[in-house]
């Protein structure tokens, strides 16, 4: 799975979360920070993780979510790691 494909999928997820400022969803890059750039309430990060698991067909480890950073690239890395683990 390509990184851009995951970013596109993340943007689709963010469109379903009403407390995310939808006007900020243009020009989302790997460096975009959910909390500071997209004004996502920190309590929504759990929902984003749960929706990402479903969308990308992966299962995250609790430890990975606990240590997750708040940038788009952190979630992309998390999804790819989970995909690798799923292949084993």
Partner 1 sequence: MEMTGRRVAVVGMAGVFPTCTGLEDFSDKLFSNKSLIREWDVAKAYGKQVRSIVSGFVTEAEMNLEAIYSEILPSYPEVYIDHLERIPNINLATADLGSIWAMLASREAIDMAGWTEKETQSEATGVIIASGGGANEIVRSAWHGFFQLGMKTRISGAHTVDRSMFYREAANVSCFIKNKGICESIGSACATGLGNIGHAYRMIKFGLQDRVVTGGVEATALESFLGFDGMYILSRGFPAAESSRPFDLNRNGFVCSFGAGIVCLEEYEMAKARGANILGVIDNYFNNSDGDGDMFYPGFDGQKRLWKGLLGTSGFVPDVVKVHGTSTPIGDPVELMSTVDCLGTSNYHVSAPKSQFGHMLGAAGSVEFVASLLMLREQKVLPCLNSITLNPELESFQKSENWEGPQEPLAAFRDLLPEQTFEKEINSVVCLNYGFGGTNSSILVSKDNS
Which residue stretch of 1-9, 18-26, 60-68, 74-82 sits at the interface with partner 1 (rule: CB under 8 A)?
60-68
Q: Report H helices in the chain.
A: 3-15, 45-56, 62-66, 72-87
Helix (H, G, I), strand (E, B) or coil at 72: helix
CB 80 within 8 A of CB 5: no
Q: Which is nearer to partner 1, 1 or 46 (CB)?
A: 46
Stretch that binds partner 1, among 11-19, 23-31, 61-69, 79-87 (CB under 8 A): 61-69
Q: Which of 23, 26, 27, 43 binds partner 1 (CB under 8 A)?
A: 43
């Amino acid at each position: 799975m390509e990184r851009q494909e995951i970013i596109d999928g993340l943007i689709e997820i963010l469109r379903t979360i009403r407390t995310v400022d939808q006007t900020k969803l243009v020009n989302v890059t790997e460096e975009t920070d959910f909390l500071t750039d997209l004004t996502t309430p920190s309590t929504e990060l759990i929902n984003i993780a749960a929706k990402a698991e479903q969308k990308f067909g992966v299962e995250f480890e609790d430890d990975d979510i606990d240590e997750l950073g708040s940038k788009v690239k952190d979630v992309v890395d998390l999804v790819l790691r989970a995909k690798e683990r799923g292949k084993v």
